[in-house]
Structure 1
Amino acid sequence: MSGRTVSSAILVLVLGSFFATLCDVFIKMAGPDVAVFQLTFFRAVFMCMILLPIALFKYQRMEKSTALIGIKLHFLRGNLWVLAGVLLTISLAALPLATANAVFYTAPIFIMLLGAFFYKERLSIHVIAAALLGFVGILIILRPTEITFGMISAILFAVVLAANSLLIKKIPQEQSMMYGLCITQLFALPSAGALAWWEGASFDPDILIFAALSSVCSISYSVACLVGYRYVASSQVTSAEYSGLIFAFLLGWWWFGETPDWAVFIGSLFVILPLLYLSHQDIRRIRRSQSMTNTRANLSAG
């Protein structure tokens, strides 16, 4: 699974989606009464412990002048990670696994909307339609007869996830992704630790198990994305990540005895099908561009 071909990249991303869903499972297993800030802090601690040896190895091989490039960006992403971790834990405690994950998959919609706002990216009629259908999907999935904190947390998590994803574009090219991820997590520690201290919850040893397992799964997902998107165009393989919703349905049913109703399935279609259509349009555009390039090269050669 080198990720150098489309088929191997898709396989890597499907595996990554499984780990991402498994991460949610371990967080949800911590229970509805878990100390949210304490769990978030220990997740950051374990991620730093895992990533630090890799970061030190990368540091020894990079030019030392590049080590502190983008430090403000890593600080911002680290604190956004803390916010996302808190929102993720709250939403998973309050919502069924499949329902929460269906809302999380609206993140690409927010990426497009935030990209248009911050990077002045053009919004086509198809993108606007996908956004509107996605929000209709959220309403179908959540059926908000009353607004709960869990619902709000799930939507806000998708927004924060989208913002953090957009900031990846600004990560210095001179730094490896794993090094940057470690620095980001190191910056997450102070705010996560301060929130855990402010929370004042008594220490629960079981929380270490869930924090460690979810951290391993989270890093595995990050590595899968790094490999899956490294050699092939993202539009050709990004749809593979939606396999995570299937894993959420299956693991929610098997692990927590949750049976998603038809509203979750229908709402998920409203969210995912427009995004798959946009991905297909991207692939067609790339192929047309490549075809035109090949034609010009042949004409020039002739």
Structure 2
Amino acid sequence: MSGRTVSSAILILVLGSFFATLCDVFIKMAGADVAIFQFTFLRAMFMCLILCPIAVTRYLRSARTSATLGLKLHFVRGNLWVLAAVLLVVSLAELSLATANAVFYTAPIFIMLFGAFFYKERLTLEVVLAALLGFAGILIILRPTEVTFSMISAVLFAVVLAVNSLLIKKLPQEQSMLYGLFMTQLFALPLSGVLAFWEGGVFEVEVLIYAALSSICSILYSVSCLVGYRYVASSQVTSAEYSGLIFAFLMGWWVFGDTPDLGVFIGSFFVIVPLLYLSHRDIRRLRKEQLLSNTRSNLGAG
């Protein structure tokens, strides 16, 4: 799974969506009364500790000048991560896992819109239709009756997530993906640390465990985004992240006892079918290109 083709990028993002949902599960298990800024700082600290040996190894094997590239971008992404992490905890504190993820998955809509505006990416009819059907599925699943602070936090989280995902394209090509992720989390420590100190929350071992587990899942999700969005147009693969809705429904039912209703399955149909279509279309196109290449090779050999 190199992420250099649309089909492999879609598969990578689907796996990433699973780990993202698992991360949400651990965050929600931390409880509604968790010290938000302390929890965010602990998550950033654990991610740095996990990535540090890998980052040092990559640093020693690469040119020294590449280590200082893109520091401003890493700083921006690190502080955006702090904002997104806080919004994530706030929204999961009150919303159910399925409802929260239904709102989170408006992020691909923002990714396509921002990608077309800032990167001049071409939006095909199939991609636009897939996005509209996916968004319609979200509305069927969510069926909002009122706007709450948690829902606003979830929408803002989706916007920040979309911006951070698109900034991946500007990361220095000379740096490894894991080294860049380490630098991003390193720059997240000062702001999250100051906020945690200002908050003055009571330290709990249980919160530490949930922070560590969610950090591992967050790293796996971040790596999938780095690979999935780095080599192909975001508009071609962004629908793949809708698959996380299915994981959210299943885990919400299994862990928290949330029972999906008919609307969940109808909305899921609207989400999954476009994803399967885009994946099948890419596989079919690659087969045609391979067949044409083989035919030309045979003609040239003749």
Q: Which amino acid aligns with 2:34?
A: V
Aligned-residue offset at 1:221 = 3.6
- Cα displacement (A) at 1:200: 3.7
Deviation of residue 195 (structure 1)?
2.4
Map residues 136-285 of structure 1 onto 2, 5 A cutoff. 136-223=136-223, 244-285=244-285
Distance 1:146 1:289, change over 3 A: same
Q: Which stretch of the first structure deviates more once superposed, 243-252 or 48-57?
A: 243-252
The equivalent of 2:67 in structure 1 is 67
Aligned to 1:31: 31
Moved more, 215-224 or 108-117: 215-224
Mapped to 1, the partners of 2:88 and 2:236 lie a distance apart of 28
- What residue is the counterpart of 1:301 in the other structure? 301
The whole-number CA distance in structure 1 between the counterparts of 2:10 and 2:112 is: 22
Residue 89 (structure 2) pairs with residue 89 (structure 1): yes
C-alpha displacement at 1:16, in angstroms? 4.7
Contact 1:2 1:227 in 2 (8 A): yes
1:20 aligns with 20
**Aligned-pair identity (%):** 76
Residue deviations 1:220-260 (CA, integer Å, cap 9, x gap): 34456678899999999988766543432232122211112
Unaligned runs of 5+ in 2: none
2:141/2:267 contact within 8 Å kept: yes
1:265 positional shift:
2.6
Inter-CA distance 214–249: structure 2 relative to 1 (3 Å threshold): same
Range that drifts further, 42-51 or 16-25:
16-25
Tell whether the 8 Å contact from 1:9 to 1:228 is kept in structure 2 after alignment. yes
- TM-score, with normalisation over the residues of structure 2? 0.84
| CA displacement, residues 266-295 of structure 1 (integer Å, 9 cap, x when unaligned) | 223333433433333333333334443433
- In the aligned structure 1, how far is the partner of 2:238 from the partner of 2:123? 19
Report if aligned partners of 1:107, 1:162 keep a CA contact under 8 Å in 2. yes
User: Relative to 1, partners in 2 of residues 1:238 and 1:289: Cα closer, same or farther, differing over 3 Å?
Assistant: farther
Secondary structure at 2:248 match in 1: helix
Question: Residue 94 of structure 1: CA displacement?
Answer: 1.8
Displacement after TM superposition at 1:201 (Å)? 3.1
Residue 50 of structure 1 corresponds to 50
TM-superposition CA deviations, 1:115-140 (whole Å, max 9, x none): 10110112222233233333323322
**Range moving further from structure 2, 246-255 or 49-58:** 246-255
Using structure 1 for the length normalisation, give the TM-score: 0.84
The match for 1:128 is 128
Deviation at 1:32, TM superposition (A): 1.5
**d(CA) in 2 for partners of 1:8 and 1:121?**
20
Consecutive unaligned residues in structure 1, runs of 5 or more: none
Deviations 1:30-58 (A, max 9, x none): 11122222211110011111111111111
Assess if the C-alpha contact under 8 Å between 1:80 and 1:160 holds in 2.
Answer: yes
Alpha-carbon offset, residue 148 of structure 1: 1.1
CA distance in 1, matches of 2:68, 2:95: 40
Which moved further from structure 2: 93-102 or 41-50? 93-102
Give the RMSD, CA atoms, in angstroms: 3.5
How far has the Cα of 1:104 moved from its partner?
2.8
How many residue pairs end up in the alignment? 302
Partners in 2 of 1:233 and 1:121 — Cα distance?
7
Q: Which moved more, 1:272-281 or 1:148-157?
A: 272-281
SS at match of 2:68: coil
Q: CA deviation at 1:68?
A: 0.7
2:87 maps to a residue whose letter is L
Q: Tell me which amino acid in the other structure corresponds to 2:93.
A: A
